[in-house]
Structure 1
Amino acid sequence: MEEIENQRMTHIAVERNRRKQMNESCCAQGDQASIIGGAINFVKELEQLLQTMEAHKKTKQEPADVSGFSSSPFAEFFAFPQYSTRAPATEEESVVDQNQWSMADIEVTMVETHANLKILSKKRPRQLLKMVAGLQALRLSVLHLNVTTVDQLVLYSVSVKVEEGCHLNTVDEIAAAVNQMLHRIHEEETAFSQN
């Protein structure tokens, strides 16, 4: 009986020491917000690595067709894009696509005041710089950004905070604003290259 009591006391002491070391480790690294921020950054880095590896794997298996959404090396990263460059399957979709002509595949998801954007487009000069400035002009503060490129395609994964005063309240409104912004960037590039 005494041996069981000694084992229990030893276990309690070991567990108490483990908790003390964990607390000291957490305090040394910073407060809880810093720890969570570090975890979020790590997950985003893993997401970018996965995107890059999957895209390169797919391009080695079959050549990428820039015009077709389903054959894009990034197609599996889009669940329900609000905008897509893929060809419409039906006449009904064709009418919708004419009204929402897309410069890129765009998918926006949102939780409270935070939104995640996935934007797949052709590479263009200074596009990233103009996109970040455009998002800030829309009062969407960029919190995290991943850029993954394969051939002439680029996938932007952007985490934004919807700031006070932003008039975009739904995923569809944000996706439409991003699509319009990409149209302006393309038009500016076209006008610049013609001069």
Structure 2
Amino acid sequence: MSHIAVERNRRRQMNENLKVLRSLTPCFYIKRGDQASIIAGVIEFIKELHLVLQSLEAKKRRKSLSPSPGPTTPRPLQLSPTPESSPFITHNNNFKELGACCNSPVADVEARICGSNVMLRTISKRIPGQIVKIINVLEKLSFEILHLNISTMQDTVLYSFVIKIGLECQLSVEELALEVQKSFTSSDVLCINEI
């Protein structure tokens, strides 16, 4: 087999594999049709699926550690200063990021400062209208939504936001995580009173 035939076969296999990857990935992850964009989109999709899997495993562990079914009292919100105890595993040893997690039986919420923006992620069961509640909370707290990504797996949904901090906003990441967490348990949108 000549070198040209081997190279032609390799390209054909690469193109077939890229078509399969593109068909398995939701369209909004892939911005353009070139190879680099397809691979970058697939990587982003796999990262999101990995986060959902970690959340489901964490909930499974929490469920197995909880006492047998019966009358249960609702677990209070748990606020941790760093995202290490969260299903959101984001390690970057090159620089320190400020972040907080607010977990409850209803949802896990992580907020962290990343450069001049805030990354906000929530994992919960699907709740009709929940995305609108979160967006209303963010807008009332003077945040501008730059990017929103929604990933679902069975009855679990992951909302990933990149938000810009408004000039009037005086919240810490802990307060932001807590306010977004409150939107999961309230029938109407909550807003922090100005200090």
TM-score, L = length of structure 2: 0.48
- For the pair shown, which has the larger CA radius of gyration, 1 or 2? 1
Quick check: which one's helix share is greater? 1
Q: Please report the TM-score for the alignment, with normalisation by the length of structure 1.
A: 0.48
More strand by share: 2
